[in-house]
Amino acid sequence: MSGAVADVRDVLGIDATALEPRQPPLKKQRTVEKRPDGITRELYALLGENAPPVAVVEHRFKDKPKFVGPVAPWREQRFRNPARADALELRHWVRQNPGQQQQQQPAPDDAMDTDAADAAVAPPADPPQLDYQFAKFNIKMTILQYTDAEYDAVLRDDDWSRAETDYLFKLIQEHDLRWVIIADRYEFPGGSKDRSMEDMKARYYSVCRNVMEMRTPVSMMSAEESQLYHAMHYNKEQEVERKRIVQMQLYRTPAEIEHEQHLIAELRRIHDSHQQLLEEREELFNRLDYPQSTGSIAAYQGSQGLATLATTIMNSDKNKKRKSIAAPSGQPEKDDVKPVATAASPTAPSRAGSIIEPARGGGHGHQRTESTASATGPTPLKDKNKSNIKQLSKAEETTYNVSHHDKLQPGVFFRTMKMNLPKANSFMTKSPAVMAELGIALNLTMPTAKTCGKYEQLAKEIAALMELRKQIEKVDQETRVFKAQEGMAESRAKRSASVLSDVSRSSKRPKKEK
């Protein structure tokens, strides 16, 4: 077949080598690469570009491993373990390097072998392997050792004899400071006392501390040593008490556990509401916090200083004006306080005052700032255009009831409808009572621009007052809670003492039954 193809090529005069780097195999390979395991080619072709939504894993045997080079032989070799004190030789299987293969031919002489039984089966006589990879795991802790002189000098104890102390240290060395096991294995021959783990620990640590202190006085110790020295401090009473509590905790009855869970839930609730309370209080403080002027007024004492001050005020006024126009008319306060606080200039008081000031000339709430500005600030552009007509003085304006507007709302409406009253729910419900107290009708009988303004101011003050009252109540409540907590802490201490005795009684009960 391939011969025929070659002939055809030959006839057609196509160079066989030119055709060699063919594309199709490459393409095929790419698809093979992309195709995940376990999907047949046909199925994969149906899937098209999209990857399958789930990975299909076909269960099949592992591929036959491909070995490269000759198989490395394994042979049974004798070895000694340096971690052992004796000369025990065991045999294990080691992988041989191909180079070593030659020398492993059995040699007849067997002088090294100590065990006759071994000799019969172990043909190789090469010397046993002396290092052993697992020997390094043979690690012992170093436990402090004391000398006779040291013992006589600082370690005497009425409760512990020398022999018993030695026994304890031997046991500690043997069991690498694992106290549970040490306490379990402690059987000092002739020891009349029943030693608890705490007794042993107290003795061990006191011995260590004393010896350390004797070798190097505390003041001379290196940082490391003194850290160790202080870490060795052992408070036996505290440990005994701790264990007692741990034990108690383990033997709680279901009722106690339920009670405890209930208490935890309660605590969490209190904690959460406390957090909320703190947040609210902080917010209030922020609100009440008057921006304090920090700079000294010395700079403004000269006439030049005053002039700069005037321009600053004017500029900041302008800023404010733009802001309040841009801001939704409902909440001027929040927007205004911030820039004032950052500016921290002496103008702040007057500005803050202006917030609650009603519009002087303006008849409508939302244009109030504009009219205020027109009174104090430079004349607005619009006014300049009209200046050739007639400039009315302030008094004249009031008499003729002239007002300036940026833009009039089309249509007819009641002025009272446009009044800017606090929207809080509590205000709606509580303000009538306050109004009644002050003897002011809820509905204005004569809603002129002036009365409306005053009414708005009054409403705002009432709202502020109510807010203050609420906060005071909250703070009061909090102080009461704290006081109560103090009281409770005392009574709880008493109560838990009684519970403890209860528990210890109940945990003793089963023992009696035995």
Residues of this chain that interact with another protein (CB under 8 A) are 81, 83-84, 86-93, 114-115, 117-118, 121, 132-135, 137-138, 175, 178-181, 183-185, 197, 243-244, 246-247, 249-254, 257, 510-511, 514
Q: How far is the CB of 253 from another protein (least distance, A)?
A: 7
Q: Which segments within 62-117 are labelled E, that is strand?
A: 74-80, 89-95
CB 293 within 8 A of CB 348: yes
Which is closer to another protein, CB of 250 or CB of 493? 250
Q: How far is the CB of 93 from another protein (least distance, A)?
A: 6
How many other CB atoms sit within 10 Å of the CB of residue 205? Answer: 16
Which is closer to another protein, CB of 94 or CB of 314? 94
What are all long-range contacts of 196-203, with beta carbons under 8 Å and residues at least 24 apart?
Answer: 196/240, 198/236, 198/239, 198/240, 198/243, 199/236, 200/168, 201/234, 201/236, 201/239, 202/234, 202/236, 203/157, 203/159, 203/160, 203/165, 203/168
Which is closer to another protein, CB of 114 or CB of 399? 114
Count of CA atoms in the C-beta half-sphere (13 A) of 145:
5
Q: How far is the CB of 86 from another protein (least distance, A)?
A: 5
The two three-digit tokens of residue 158, written as one number: 């009425």
Q: How far is the CB of 228 from another protein (least distance, A)?
A: 23
Q: How far is the CB of 509 from another protein (least distance, A)?
A: 12
Cα-based distances in Å from 501 to 10, 28, 317, 467, 493: 109, 82, 73, 50, 13
CB 430 within 8 A of CB 466: yes
Which of these, 209, 252, 210, lies nearest to 232 by C-alpha position? 209
Distance CA 359, CA 354 (A): 9
Which is closer to another protein, CB of 83 or CB of 270? 83
Q: How far is the CB of 171 from another protein (least distance, A)?
A: 11
Which is closer to another protein, CB of 1 or CB of 139? 139
- The DSSP code for 128 is P
Q: How far is the CB of 339 from another protein (least distance, A)?
A: 58
The two three-digit tokens of residue 382, written as one number: 């619009």
CB 83 within 8 A of CB 138: yes
Describe the crossing of helices 236-250 and 449-513 by its angle, rounded to 10 degrees.
Answer: 90
Which is closer to another protein, CB of 133 or CB of 393? 133
Which is closer to another protein, CB of 170 or CB of 494? 170
Q: How far is the CB of 340 from another protein (least distance, A)?
A: 59
Which of these, 168, 232, 227, 161, lies nearest to 196 by C-alpha position? 168
Which is closer to another protein, CB of 257 or CB of 489? 257
